[in-house]
Amino acid sequence: MIAIVPARCGSKGLPGKNIKNLHGKPMIAYTIEEALKSSYIDEVIISTDCEEIEKIALKYGAKSLFLRPKELASDTAIAIDNYIYTVDRLNEEFAYNIKSFVVLQPTSPLRKTIDIDGAVQIFNDKNADSVISYTEEHHPIEWHKYITEDGKFENIFEEKLQNRQEIKPSYYPNGAIFVFKHEMIKQKRYYTDKSYSYIMPRDRSMDVDTMEDFKYIEFLLGENCE
């Protein structure tokens, strides 16, 4: 099985975040290194439109056979289109025979090999179409509201007064791990009735989108090094 690490040049929230120095090495290195230790992953393929990112990824053990087209790396590009393009091209031009694959975003540097292997194990055991990493929501989603322009509350869910202990826990996708069947992705779907979750702990579920996220992960890694 291959792992695709998607890392485009552009990032408005935190420019250059994929290769930003994080405790002595580029952030993308954490994902590549953990993937290479996986019991299930044979190759880590970098998917990027940027030669600098490609060079750094190769240094840490990833493989690159082509750069991503610019139209699949824009702010409006849809991730699933890039997965289809990457796998189809590997199969058709480079004699791969990819029937399933893993996607590991470099913005989840706290994800460990145990998480990758755990998700792939579920995928194999369940003969799943997809397995996606989720983490438990800290606050009940029933508490969420829309806020109007003049600051008033607008219900998302039907209002119902309950103690927190009575509310069923909910979970959200943390962006760390995706395991997909190629034939499902070709249909431009992430979920079917044969999709399953891999539950990750909150302390490994941080996704870097802003400088605040990056600084918090920097702090967490520093704490773990002490």
pLDDT tens per residue across span 183-200 = 999 999 999 999 999 999
Residue type present at position 82: N
More confident residue, 156 or 139: 156
* pLDDT at res. 200: 97
Q: What DSSP element (H or E) covers 146?
A: strand 145-147
Query: What span, in angstroms and rounded, lies between the C-alpha atoms of 17 and 209?
Result: 8
Q: Read off the pTM.
A: 0.91
User: Residues 145, 154: contact at Cβ < 8 Å?
Assistant: yes
* pLDDT at res. 166: 73
* Mean pLDDT in residue range 20-48: 97
User: Residues 11, 207: contact at Cβ < 8 Å?
Assistant: no
For residue 142, pLDDT beyond 90: no
Q: What DSSP element (H or E) covers 64?
A: none
Q: Where are the alpha helices (DSSP H) in 47-172?
A: 51-59, 79-93, 113-126
Give the lowest-confidence range in 13-22, 122-131, 169-178: 13-22
Query: What span, in angstroms and rounded, lies between the C-alpha atoms of 153 and 75?
Result: 31
* pLDDT at res. 141: 84
* CATH numbers and ranges of domains, the chain: 2-136+171-225 (3.90.550.10)
* pLDDT at res. 67: 96
| Structure-derived torsion over alpha carbons of residues 82, 83, 87, 93, reported in degrees to the nearest 10 | 0
